[in-house]
Structure 1
Amino acid sequence: MSQNAMVIVGAGHAGGRAALTLREAGFAGRIILIGDEVHLPYERPPLSKALLKGESTLEACSLFSEAGFIASGIEHLSGVRVTGIDVREQRLTLDNGQQLEYGKLLLAMGGQSRSLDLGGRRFSNVHYLRTVDEAVGLRARLTPGTRLLVVGGGFIGLEVAATARDLGCAVAVLEAGPRLAARALPERLSQTLLNLHRDRGVVVHLGARIESIQGEEALTAVQLASGECLPCDVLLVGIGMQPNLQLAKDAGLETGSGIRVDRFLQTSAPGVFAAGDVCEFPDGEGLLQRQETWRNAETQGRLAALNMLGHQQPISGVAGFWSDHYEFALQTVGALEAGAQVIAREGGDGGFVLLYLNAQQQLMGASGWGRGNSVAKDIKLCERLIESQVMLPVTQLADANVSLKGLLRGAHV
């Protein structure tokens, strides 16, 4: 094959978006998208919500239709794994023995769910949730009356807990830490989440440590260090993910918490880029970070494609994510620094927005909670205020009657 081919390893959201962007940007050569799943690229957020509940389908979650994919001329090598990269020869080796040469290469392999230590035992009713096939398998078990035990009080675990309650399951959540989603959320949002889930009938155990497990073919109960024994019909493990780094490490690429890139998403090897969950990149101040969000996969997939074509566009924009629980949603944008001055804007129906200011009274980040999309507009305005870096009046920020849009408009006077 031609050495001018654009090859993408990883057919998830970031890889799929990159392939589409290459075509949209006018690249007419070969694009080869390699993935170990058999499905076309899809978005992951619905897996724990609409798709798991049966309100959505794989087709609705996919980045493009089968017909659109065929029309794009992108070659999809599905159910295939890359076993080696020779960056000097610009060649890949696949698990079927085939070798492919590339002109430019994008690594967007994502990650895999962290495993719960079960003492080497395997149980038929222990589930993880990272792929659409895992979502389909879990959905079949979430019938009314099923006792679901969730290990991990992060977003995946809590979103599944909410979905399972809506489906009529009895749900308990085990969180090892002192509060829910502590690494991502401020204490007020953690407490709000806890209150909501308990109000909806979820039994939440904080500071929980598993002492032992019971069962033969299926796991039937979990014994906690506190002495409490929790029976279950289904156990979901939601204790985070680990990026797929081994391929990059074996190829000699620089890695840290992810595949390390510069501000153009270029790795330490010429012509090799990385994007999405697997990518460790510098922020505006040069500090390295890795993000596991829809927004990161979407924006970096696009940016990587453009830079593979030589556009040399640096990473920009503000980080952010959202999470849905029952009819409520939380959203964050920017940096929620522990030492920041925090201003609360109280809204109706229990909603609120927390604003994070630096010593110069500039907005660094914001987090919000509300029914439906009630805080989406404010969070979007906060994103623009973060980008403006204007000094903000604290007293006006705390007054929900003072429009954030007006403060933004004043920033450009």
Structure 2
Amino acid sequence: MSHIVIIGAGECGARAAFALREKSFDGQITLVGAEEHLPYERPPLSKDALLHGHEPKFVSEAAHYTEAGIQVLTGVSVESIDTAGKSVGLSNGDKLTYDRLLLATGARPRPFPGLAGASDRIKTLRTHHDAVSIRAALQPGKHLAVIGGGFIGLELAATARKLGAQVTLVEGLARILTRGVPEPVAAIIAERHRAEGVEILCGTRIEGLTEGRDNASILLEDGRIITADMIVVGIGAVPNVELARDAGLAIDNGIAVDQHLRTSAPDIYAAGDCCSFPLAYYDGRRLRLEAWRNAHDQGNLAAVNLMGGEEAISAVPWFWSDQYDLTLQIAGMADGATQTVRRDMADGAFILFHLAADGRLLAASGIGTGNAVARDIRLAEMMIAAGVRPDPVALSTPGTKLKSLLAA
């Protein structure tokens, strides 16, 4: 009987396992995860899990894995891959042989330079355990300091304010959300955070961090010291490639895969946050995405190709972030755009459309309350996939139906 082993029990790995059964794979499936929990979703960790102290939002309940015939090994890590013998060595001393292997090892928080690791007062946010330990500092009378003005840092800041904590956010670059978010959109988010009482310090270099029994401090280059009950470092993520690298697989800003998610080793695939891949929409540029949608989509795609399919990556990158009552959504990648067109919508919502020199729509960035931009961002996503070259004037005109531009 054919055996598919999946290393990494997160959204991507779990989705691949269930998709294999949905596509009638009748062999053995083993899903291996280092955490004690069954696979759970990570986006709620900076929002609902902190607000309400919930248990993880599980991808599926234990009974569903049993019903699907998926063996889940939790609390066990993979220590080695033998590509010649087609086996993996586990931390408990066991060995699993495979016919095909999927690496869905994800990513881990990028550590603050010079800091050995997380501690009682200086933390990162990646796991449910992290969220539980951070929540203790999110209450009235407490002061949280966040390092990093990306999605994780800002979502955490919004959640902390909702729970009544004082928040100071430090970003070394000139503005928040420099990675992939246009300045006008980032400005709206920064303004909202400040209105909610978050102190945002941009363009500020950190000289060092110190930790005491009751607090931790950030020493800034200009001599200022920010003392808080807890510091959370959110300065990006590092793909977990060590296992693949030690097995001799090609690495290029992640585990390098082709358009079918195949690695450089026979019968080994990789998907999700841990891998970089070429995307045809952007002239074959190699991307690595840290996003729930990408993990979900590539889990489905991996299942097809693990069964012998030859389906290429085709999903358009899509990101979202909820902060207070604002929702930010981005479809595509704006890198290389030569023209940006703004489309104003009701209640202050707007979308920026980013066009290439040849007129192709490369990306769309929208912000508004609730689901104000969701439908048009979805249509923009479809336009990007279709290679549409929309009329900029029509894009900027609120009365123009984007669906008509897609049809044209």
Q: TM-score range by the shorter chain?
A: over 0.9
Q: Give, in whole Å, the separation in 2 of the partners of 1:307 and 1:366.
A: 30
2:246 paired with 1:279: no
Q: How far apart are residue 183 of structure 1 and its match?
A: 1.5
Q: CA deviation at 1:55?
A: 6.8
The Cα shift of 1:186 comes to 1.1
What is the 5 A alignment of 1:58-137? 58=56, 61-117=57-113, 120=116, 123-137=119-133
Query: Which whole-Å CA distance do the structure 2 matches of 1:14 and 1:214 have between them?
Result: 37
Secondary structure of residue in 1 paired with 2:89? strand
State the 1:389 CA deviation.
2.2
Of residues 144, 147, 168, the one that matches 1:148 is 144
Residues 359-393 of structure 1: CA deviation (Å, up to 9, x unaligned): 23221110000001110001011111212223322
After superposition, the Cα gap between the structure-2 partners of 1:271 and 1:122, relative to the gap in structure 1 and judged at 3 Å, is closer
Match of 1:308 in 2: 306
Match of 2:227 among 220, 227, 231: 231
State the partner residue of 1:198. 194
Tell me the secondary structure at the aligned position of residue 38 of structure 1.
coil
SS of the residue corresponding to residue 9 of structure 2 reads coil
Post-superposition shift, 1:56? 4.7
Secondary structure of 2:342's counterpart equals: strand
1:176 aligns with 2:180: no
What is the distance in 1 between the residues matched to 2:140 and 2:366? 32
Change (3 A) 1:259 1:9: same
Greater shift in the superposed pair: 264-273 or 213-222: 213-222
| Deviation (angstroms), 1:269 | 0.8
CA distance 1:218–1:126, shift in 2 (3 Å): farther
**Would the aligned equivalents of 2:137 and 2:143 in 1 still touch at CA under 8 Å?**
no
Equivalent position SS for 2:380: helix
| Structure-2 separation of matches of 1:227 and 1:83 | 44
What amino acid sits opposite 1:393 in the alignment? D
What residue in structure 2 maps to residue 27 of structure 1?
25
Amino acid at match of 1:180: I
What is the number of residues matched between the two proteins?
406
Q: Map residues 261-280 of structure 1 onto 2, 5 A cutoff.
A: 261-280=257-276
Counterpart amino acid of residue 113 in structure 1: P
Residue 72 of structure 1: how far off its partner (Å): 1.5
What is the aligned counterpart of 2:327 among 308, 323, 329?
A: 329
Q: Report the AA paired with residue 293 of structure 2.
A: R
Secondary structure of the equivalent of 2:145? strand
1:240–1:349 distance in 2 versus 1, CA, 3 Å: same
Distance 1:250 1:89 in 2: 15
Alignment RMSD (CA, Å)? 1.5
Residue of structure 1 in register with 2:160 after alignment: 164
Q: Which residue of 1 aligns with 2:374?
A: 376
The answer to whether the aligner puts 1:402 opposite 2:400 as a matched pair is: yes
Q: Where does residue 211 of structure 1 map in the other structure? A: 207
Q: Distance in 2 between matches of 1:149 and 1:86?
A: 44
CA distance in 2 between counterparts of 1:356 and 1:262 reads 27
Letter in 2 for 1:52: L
Q: Partners in 2 of 1:340 and 1:366 — Cα distance?
A: 13
Q: Tell me which amino acid in the other structure corresponds to 1:22.
A: L
Change beyond 3 A, Cα 1:378–1:32: same
> Is the CA contact 2:260–2:305 (under 8 Å) kept in the aligned structure 1?
yes
- What is the CA–CA distance in structure 2 between the aligned matches of 1:164 and 1:193, rounded to whole Å? 16
Unpaired segments ≥5 residues, structure 1:
none
Q: Distance in 2 between matches of 1:30 and 1:258?
A: 28
